[in-house]
Amino acid sequence: MRKKLYGNKNMLLVAIIGLLAILIVLIVKNKTDLKKYSEKGNEYFYSSNFEESIKVYESINKTDKRSAIWPAKISELYLLQDDNENAEKYMKVAMEKEDKSGDAHSILLNNEFLNLKEKFVENRISEEDYTEIFKHAKEDLDMYPENNDIKRVAFAIYLFHGDSINAKKIIDSYATKSFTASELCDKAMMYFQLNDSKSAFSTLIEAYELDKNEMKIYDVVYEAYMSNGNVLNELINLANENNSELFYKLALIKIYVSNIDLNKGEDLLNEIGGMKIENNFIIPQLLMVELLNNKCEFDKEEKIIYDLLNNHSDDYKVNYLTACYWLNKNDIEKAIKYFKIAIKQNEKYLPLYTKLAPDILEMKGEPNKAIPYLHYAIYYEPYNPLTYVNSGYYNLYSMNNSVNALEHFKIAQVFNEDDLELKYQTALVYLSNHNYNEAIEMLNICIEKDSKNIKYHRTLGTTYVISKRQDEAIKEINEAYELDKSNILTLNNLGCYYITVEGDIEKSFKNIELAFKSLKEEHDEYTVKTITENYNKIIDLKKKYEKGKENEVIEIPDFVMFY
């Protein structure tokens, strides 16, 4: 009897083990299938095939019914297609499902922020909108205190409303326990956005000590400089005070080699070349690659790239720069090859989204397919004005979408209200859209902040001419002339004004002739062509006038003014 019972127990145990084994196999298979389909959905997404991506996520959602991530992703896809009704529908579905990590809620909060920014640029935002999103941000922060994606979006939301107190609280809680050098870089960038450069540099030093090969450390310094030129002066002072500290020299080099001052960048790189550096520390080589690329010394650049590939092919930075190199050589296939390797090695490296992918797609003749990459660049750093500026320029020049460009420029100005160049570029977009009153308003803001900038006065003068506000036009053109009486663009505009508005051939000829005779080899093709054509027109008009009969009507041709 005992033997029989013992045998039954063994059989039961074997059956249980068998069932567990089957269950484990099914779970593993299910997870493998989910990963495979998720990757397919992402592939469709980054190919701008949103409809197919939605179908894949819908299919996964039917299998993985409890997870909030799939309806969250679907809502995001509908939002990118301006289908707010379906986006809202799937956001509600996601809110009812399980989200252990907070990844779904970070997408949902970002979706809400996208809607808020859209209302802002369309001038239909209200305090109720802010109250609602603040409530959701706080709920998400409380529910998922370790989710950095939520923290970054919430930080951007608070900053967008000018709430620096709550924004600072998020920084204080960011990357405090276990963290990477990359996460410390995020924290430093947030400090820069709050104009706390002291804490920003201190945090970057911490990141440098953790992993000095993290390229994001140096990118953050450059991005901060692009948003605030004073960062360079602070960095120079810190480098002088800490002459033996390599970090400050490398940070300076990053700014200089990014086409700011190539000679200074090269001098500092040569200085570092004489220092004892660890074998696996490749940042100096990477900065040298960037320098050589901007100096168009491609043979030297290629040699360093091949050396880096031979020794550090598993590094995302090496593959990123290799992709950039081949793109500059117009070899799209090789650029794509190394881009795919780089993004697989580090899917959160921002330049892959803001620069490399869009440039590749533009060269392929498919610029509109860059939208998913530009979207995720902003998702990863929604508080960084440069991400909006880059997206704005790409929309403007590569996609010929001035409306979207204007939206991104407007948002960027909220995060960096002191960027006059951005305000000026915004004015130019207004002009291209024939929104002259808005352009005039923006240009006057620029002049109020910097009354000595010639191009602000020149562009405003031209805008007034177009708007038939001639008294104000000549005032601004003369302001530009007084600032620099030899500026050929201003001389051309002055000549155009005298002939088209006042009909004064002599004054017009005097200024346009001076502009024409001042042309040099370094002037760009458009400037040379425009001034030359205006000069030929005024010469021809002058001859007709001198040979004309009394009371003869002489038609004045179109003259082109510069902005």
Same domain, 465 and 501: no
Distance CA 474, CA 460 (A): 10
- What pLDDT is stored for residue 206 in this prediction? 97
Give the residues of the chain that fall short of pLDDT 50.
1-6, 23, 25-29
In a 3-state reduction of DSSP, which class is residue 331? coil
Distance CA 165, CA 171 (A): 10
Distance CA 220, CA 70 (A): 32
- With tokens 């070899």, the residue in question is 331
What would the pLDDT profile of 51-68 be if each residue is shown by its tens digit? 999 999 999 999 899 999
Kindly tell me the burial class for residue 501, based on how many C-beta atoms sit within 10 Å of its own C-beta (0-12, 13-18, 19 or more). Answer: middle
Domain boundary among 261, 295, 329: 295
Same domain, 214 and 288: yes
Q: Rounded to the nearest 5°, which phi and psi values hold at 67?
A: -80, 140
- What pLDDT is stored for residue 141 in this prediction? 97
Picking from 326, 322, 303, the residue whose alpha carbon sits closest to that of residue 314 is 322
Picking from 514, 505, 562, 490, the residue whose alpha carbon sits closest to that of residue 539 is 505
Same domain, 499 and 540: yes
- What pLDDT is stored for residue 28 in this prediction? 46
Same domain, 160 and 210: no
Distance CA 414, CA 405 (A): 15
Distance CA 44, CA 54 (A): 9
Contact (Cβ atoms closer than 8 angstroms) between residue 286 and residue 317: yes
> 210: domain CATH number?
1.25.40
Picking from 472, 490, 496, the residue whose alpha carbon sits closest to that of residue 559 is 496
- What pLDDT is stored for residue 177 in this prediction? 83
- What pLDDT is stored for residue 47 in this prediction? 94
Kindly tell me the burial class for residue 29, based on how many C-beta atoms sit within 10 Å of its own C-beta (0-12, 13-18, 19 or more). Answer: exposed
Q: Is residue 328 part of a domain?
A: no
Same domain, 467 and 513: no
- CA 412, 417, 422, 427 dihedral sign is positive
Same domain, 513 and 476: no
Distance CA 433, CA 6 (A): 87
Same domain, 162 and 236: no
Same domain, 476 and 490: no
In a 3-state reduction of DSSP, which class is residue 87? helix
What would the pLDDT profile of 253-272 be if each residue is shown by its tens digit? 999 999 899 999 999 999 99
- What pLDDT is stored for residue 546 in this prediction? 82
Distance CA 191, CA 221 (A): 12
Picking from 320, 337, 358, the residue whose alpha carbon sits closest to that of residue 216 is 320
Q: Is residue 560 part of a domain?
A: yes
Structural domain including 145 reads 103-174
Total structural domains in the chain? 5
Q: Is residue 380 part of a domain?
A: no
Same domain, 495 and 444: no
pTM value? 0.89
Domain boundary among 248, 267, 295: 295
Contact (Cβ atoms closer than 8 angstroms) between residue 402 and residue 426: no
Q: Is residue 321 part of a domain?
A: no
Contact (Cβ atoms closer than 8 angstroms) between residue 497 and residue 474: yes
Same domain, 207 and 252: yes
Same domain, 241 and 273: yes
> 20: domain CATH number?
1.25.40.10
Show the beta-strand stretches assigned E in 151-241: none
Q: Residue 3 is encoded by which pair of tokens?
A: 């033997």
Torsion of CA 408, 413, 416, 417, to 10 degrees: 180
Q: Is residue 43 part of a domain?
A: yes
Same domain, 115 and 53: no
DSSP state of 67: B
Q: Is residue 310 part of a domain?
A: no
Q: Residue 530 is encoded by which pair of tokens?
A: 């425009």
Domain boundary among 256, 275, 295: 295
Q: Is residue 393 part of a domain?
A: no
DSSP state of 423: H
> Which residues on neighbouring strands pair with residue 67, listed in sequence order?
98
Q: Is residue 360 part of a domain?
A: no
Cβ neighbours around 421 below 10 Å, total: 13
